[in-house]
Structure 1
Amino acid sequence: MKLIRLFAGLAAAGVLASSALAADQLVAIRAGKLVDVVKGEVLRDQTIVVSGERIAAVGPSGSVQVPAGARTIDLSGATVLPGLIDMHTHLTGDPNLHGYKSLGVSDIRSALYGARSAKVTLEAGFTSVRNVGASGFGDVALRDAIDDGELPGPRMRVSGYAIGIMGGHCDNNLLPNDFHYVERGVADGPWEARTKVREMAKYGADVIKICASGGVLSKGDEPGAQQYTLEEMKAIVDEAHKLGRRVAAHAHGASSIRDAILAGVDSVEHASLIDDEGIRLAREKGTWLVMDIYNDDFILQEGAKAGMLPESLAKEKALGQLQRDNFRKAFRGGAKMAFGTDAGVYPHGDNARQFFYMVKYGMTPMQAIQAATINAADLLGWKDRVGSISAGKYADIIAVSGDPTADPAELTRVRFVMKGGAVYKADPVSAPR
C-alpha cells in the first residue's frame, strides 16, 4: 500500500520540514477515506485540491478536476481528517514543573518551552489551539512567531494572563508574605476587572480567561468555591465583548458555573460539578462546555513526581470521576461541547488521548471528532477558516492509518500533518501494507 509517496525519501532521510512542500503550490491529495465532519460521514476515494494555503476543491476522485502541474500526495491507504483543535491548552507550561517546582521557572524560559510544545502539538495533529493562560504574555509571543513563520506550531488564539481574584486560582499563593507577590492577572471589583480586560487586550490577547472558581492545582482554595461574583463577571464579559474578545471561564463549582453562564461567558472550562440547572442554562444560553476529562489519569499517576501539591492530588481524587460522570450527563442533557484538554498539566502532544474518554462517557467517535473540529472552530470564532475539509478553508489536514470513527485511539497515531498547505509531518514507515 502506498502512503505519502511524495515524501517517503525525505522522511526516511529525517529531513522532512515545512519547506518540503511550500504553501504556494498546487497539490492534489488522494484520500482513501475522508471524514466529513459536517455530514458526520466517512467518504471513500476522495480528492482534495489545495492551492496555496487554502482548499480549492474536494469531492469524489472521479469528479474533481486536478489542475495541470499539481503535485500528488497519495493518502489512498489512509483516513484523512481536518486538523484537530484543542480549546484549552497551556503551551508555555511544563507538565514536570508543578507546585513549588514552578517557582524557579522564568517567563522567558516558559516562552522557550512553548516553542517546543507548539511543534509537538502540531505534529500530534492539532493545527489550531486556544491557549488560556500564560505568564509574561509568552503565548502572545509564541502566536506571533508562528504566524510570522519563525516557528512551527498550530494556529493560536491566546489570553495572556488569566484574570482572577486576590488569593484565588489565578493568583500565585506559593510564596510567603515577605515577597508581597501578586499575579499580574489579579483584579478585584467590577471596574478593576474591566481595566484588567483592557490590559490583556492592549498586549495582544485574543480571548479573555477568567477564574470564576477555585481550582485543583492552586494552593489554598477549593474547586467548588465561587471566587468572582456575578457582578464582576458581568463587567468582564461586557468589557471583553465590547472589545471583540470572547470569554472563557474556569469554573468547577455549580454556583460559579451558573453565574458565569448568566454573566454571558462564551465557554465554561472544566465544569466538573455542573448540576441540572447549569446544564439547562448552558443549553438555553448556547454556552459551550469545555471539559478536560483525560488529565485525571496523569494527575493521579504522575502528579506527585511532577511536583503537584498533596492537597492538589487530594482535590483531584475527589473531583476527577465526578467530572467524567457530569460530562456524560451534560452531553445527554443537550449542552454544546467542544474539545479541550488542559494540555500543560499533562505532556504536550498527548492531547488525543482524551478522545477515548469522550467516547467512554457518552459520545460516538464521530461526535468526539466533531467536538474537536467543527464545534471547536465555532467556539474559536474561526468556523469560516478551519474545522472541516471544505473549499475555501485553510488546508489544515491530517491523516491516520486506520479508521478513527471505529477506533478513536487512531487519533493518537497521526501520520500526516498539513497546516495551511505546508506539510509538517509525513510518516510512511508505519503505514499499512
Structure 2
Amino acid sequence: MLACAAACAAEPATVAVKAAHMVDVRNGTLVDHAVVLISGDRITAAGSELAIPAGAQVIDLGNKTLLPGLIDAHTHITGNPEDAGYSLIAKSVPRITLSGARNALVTLRAGFTTIRDVGADAYTDIGLRDAINDGDVPGPRILASGPPLSITGGHCDETMHAPEYKLTALGVADGHDEALKVTRRNIKYGADVIKICATGGVLSFGDDPRTSQYTLEELKAIISEAHRLGRKTAAHAHGGDGIKLSVLAGIDSVEHGSYIDDEGIKLMKEHKTYLVPTLYLGDWLIENAEAIKLPKPLLEKARVVLPAARGNIARAIKAGVPIAFGTDAAVYPHGLNAREFGVLVKLGMTPAQAIRTATVNAADLLGWSDKVGSIEAGKYADLIAVDGEPLKDVKTLEQVQWVMKGGAVVK
C-alpha cells in the first residue's frame, strides 16, 4: 500500500502534448507550436507556446499535426461486410459481440475516439459500450441505439428466415402503442439514442429505398417519447417522403438522405436537422460485392441508389443543410472510416468543412459539445496526430499516427 502511494505521488500531475501544429476546427486554421495541457482525462489548456508546468510529463510529437479525436455518427460496430448476406444467420450473439470488440479497437486506432452506433440486434452495441466504459476492452466512446425500430417487413426487419420459423427482429413495432413500447424497452435496456428505419433500404430484401415506411403519427409517437425520456433520435431515410415525414416529426438526424429533394433540403434547413450522409461505402461495396457474396437483389439496388446519392447530397451540401460525419462502417471494413472525408471534399466541401463534420458538428448532434469535438479546456483529452496538413489534404486523416483517449495514449 505504501509502495503504491509513493508511486502515485511520483506521477506528474500534468501531461503536456507538444506538436508542430494543431487544427483549430472551429475556425479552420492552423495553430503553430501547439501545446495541450492535460490533467487526468481532461484538457486544462491548449494553445501556441503555452508554458509547461515543472514536473509535467511531456509527449513531444515533433512535426506532426494535432486534431481532436474524430467522431463517426453512423456506425454498426458489431457488424461486418459479410453480414449483408445470409452468413449472419449462423452467427451467435456472443460471436457478434466479440467481433464488435475487435472492430472497436480498430476504429479507435484509426483515430475515431467517439462513435454513435445506430443499429445492433440483441443490444450487442450496448453491451460493448458498457464493457469499454468499464475498462474490460479498449474502444471508442459509444452512444448506442440497440435494435432499430422497423415496421413489419421493413428495412430493419431483417431476419431473412422463412415464415414458418415465425421469427421477428427485436425492433419491429407497428402502430402507435407498439412503437411506444419498443422505444421504452430500448431505453430500459440502455439505449442512448433511438434509431428508426423510416424508409426502405439498400441491404434488405423486398423494400424500396424511395418509399416511406412509418406514418407521420407513428414517427411522432416514437420521437416525442424518446425526447421526453432524454434521448435523441436518428432516422434511416433514403427517400423523399421518409425524409420529410421524419423532419416534420422532430427527428434529430436523417441518415443517408440518398434521394433528398428540394423540399427535403428546405425542411432540413428550416428545422436545423442534421444530415448524416454515408458515401464512401458506395465505392467499397460495389467493388467488393462478389468477395463478400452480396446477394444479387441487394447489389442491383446498390448500383442504382448509391451513385444517385452523391448528386443529391452535393446539392444538400451546397444549399447549407447541417452535415455530421457518418460512414455506415460495417457495410465496409471498420478502420476505413476516414475515407469518407475525401468524398465530402469531392462533393464540394473544403477540407476544413469536412473536418468540422466529424468534430464540432458531430459533437453537437450527439449532444456532447461539452465533452468532445474540439481541443479546448474542459473537454476530454481525446487527441490524434497525423503527418502533413489535413487542412490542405484530408486524406492525411486516413493515416492517423498517434491516438490519445481520455489522457491515455492508445496508439
Q: Distance in 2 between matches of 1:91 and 1:164?
A: 20
Question: What displacement does 1:59 show?
Answer: 1.3
Match of 2:76 in 1: 90
Match of 1:222 in 2: 208
- Counting only pairs closer than 5 Å after superposition, residues 361-376 of structure 1 correspond to structure 2 as 361-376=347-362
Question: What displacement does 1:307 show?
Answer: 2.7
Give me the TM-score of the superposition, normalised by structure 2: 0.96
Q: Distance in 1 between matches of 2:86 and 2:306?
A: 23
The one-letter code matched in structure 2 to 1:208 is I
Q: Distance in 2 between matches of 1:238 and 1:69?
A: 52
What SS does structure 1 have at the residue aligned with 2:81?
Answer: coil
1:53 aligns with 2:41: yes
Q: Distance in 2 between matches of 1:261 and 1:349?
A: 31
Q: 2:93 aligns with which of 97, 107, 110?
A: 107
Question: What displacement does 1:26 show?
Answer: 1.7
Write the deviation string for residues 129-154 of structure 1: whole angstroms up to 9, x where unpaired.
Answer: 00001111111111111111111100
Contact 1:93 / 1:110 at 8 angstroms: preserved in 2? Answer: yes
Contact 1:24 / 1:52 at 8 angstroms: preserved in 2? Answer: no
Match of 1:334 in 2: 320
Question: What displacement does 1:98 show?
Answer: 2.1
The one-letter code matched in structure 2 to 1:40 is G
What SS does structure 1 have at the residue aligned with 2:339?
Answer: helix
* Structure 2 gap ranges (5+): 1-10
> Considering only aligned residues, what root-mean-square deviation do their CA atoms show, in Å?
1.1
Contact 1:90 / 1:131 at 8 angstroms: preserved in 2? Answer: yes
Contact 1:83 / 1:127 at 8 angstroms: preserved in 2? Answer: yes
Identity of aligned residues (%): 53
Q: 1:136 aligns with which of 116, 119, 122?
A: 122
1:39 aligns with 2:51: no
Q: 1:308 aligns with which of 284, 290, 294?
A: 294
Q: Distance in 1 between matches of 2:141 and 2:307?
A: 32
Match of 2:171 in 1: 185
Match of 2:252 in 1: 266
Write the deviation string for residues 108-148 of structure 1: whole angstroms up to 9, x where unpaired.
Answer: 11111000000000000000000001111111111111111
Contact 2:286 / 2:303 at 8 angstroms: preserved in 1? Answer: yes
Contact 2:351 / 2:394 at 8 angstroms: preserved in 1? Answer: yes
Match of 1:11 in 2: none
What SS does structure 2 have at the residue aligned with 1:115?
Answer: helix
Contact 2:82 / 2:294 at 8 angstroms: preserved in 1? Answer: no
Write the deviation string for residues 310-350 of structure 1: whole angstroms up to 9, x where unpaired.
Answer: 11111111111211111110011111000000001100000
Contact 2:351 / 2:393 at 8 angstroms: preserved in 1? Answer: yes
- Counting only pairs closer than 5 Å after superposition, residues 213-362 of structure 1 correspond to structure 2 as 213-362=199-348
Question: What displacement does 1:25 show?
Answer: 4.8
Contact 1:193 / 1:236 at 8 angstroms: preserved in 2? Answer: yes
Contact 2:253 / 2:274 at 8 angstroms: preserved in 1? Answer: yes
Match of 1:424 in 2: 410
1:77 aligns with 2:63: yes
Write the deviation string for residues 328-383 of structure 1: whole angstroms up to 9, x where unpaired.
Answer: 10011111000000001100000001111000001000100000000000001100
User: Relative to structure 1, is the Cα distance of residues 86 and 24 closer, same or farther in structure 2, using a 3 angstrom cutoff?
Assistant: farther
Contact 1:78 / 1:402 at 8 angstroms: preserved in 2? Answer: yes
Contact 1:94 / 1:110 at 8 angstroms: preserved in 2? Answer: no
Question: What displacement does 1:405 show?
Answer: 1.1
Contact 2:28 / 2:391 at 8 angstroms: preserved in 1? Answer: no
Q: Distance in 1 between matches of 2:13 and 2:296?
A: 54
Contact 2:12 / 2:57 at 8 angstroms: preserved in 1? Answer: no
Contact 1:173 / 1:220 at 8 angstroms: preserved in 2? Answer: no
Question: What displacement does 1:305 show?
Answer: 2.1
1:386 aligns with 2:372: yes
Moved over 2 A (4+): none
Question: What displacement does 1:303 show?
Answer: 2.0
The one-letter code matched in structure 1 to 2:191 is A
Query: For this pair of structures, how many residues does the alignment match?
Result: 401
The one-letter code matched in structure 1 to 2:226 is A
Question: What displacement does 1:97 show?
Answer: 3.0
What SS does structure 1 have at the residue aligned with 2:208?
Answer: coil
Contact 1:24 / 1:421 at 8 angstroms: preserved in 2? Answer: no
The one-letter code matched in structure 1 to 2:124 is G
Q: 1:163 aligns with which of 123, 128, 149?
A: 149
Match of 1:66 in 2: 52
Question: What displacement does 1:178 show?
Answer: 1.2
Contact 1:214 / 1:251 at 8 angstroms: preserved in 2? Answer: yes
Give me the TM-score of the superposition, normalised by structure 1: 0.91
The one-letter code matched in structure 1 to 2:303 is K
The one-letter code matched in structure 2 to 1:30 is K
The one-letter code matched in structure 2 to 1:188 is D
Q: Distance in 1 between matches of 2:35 and 2:197?
A: 45
The one-letter code matched in structure 2 to 1:28 is A
Question: What displacement does 1:304 show?
Answer: 2.8
Match of 2:3 in 1: none
Question: What displacement does 1:99 show?
Answer: 1.5
Q: Distance in 2 between matches of 1:24 and 1:119?
A: 28
Write the deviation string for residues 386-432 of structure 1: whole angstroms up to 9, x where unpaired.
Answer: 0000011000000001111111110010000000000000xxxxxxx
What SS does structure 1 have at the residue aligned with 2:64?
Answer: strand
Q: Distance in 1 between matches of 2:249 and 2:183?
A: 15
What SS does structure 2 have at the residue aligned with 1:336?
Answer: coil
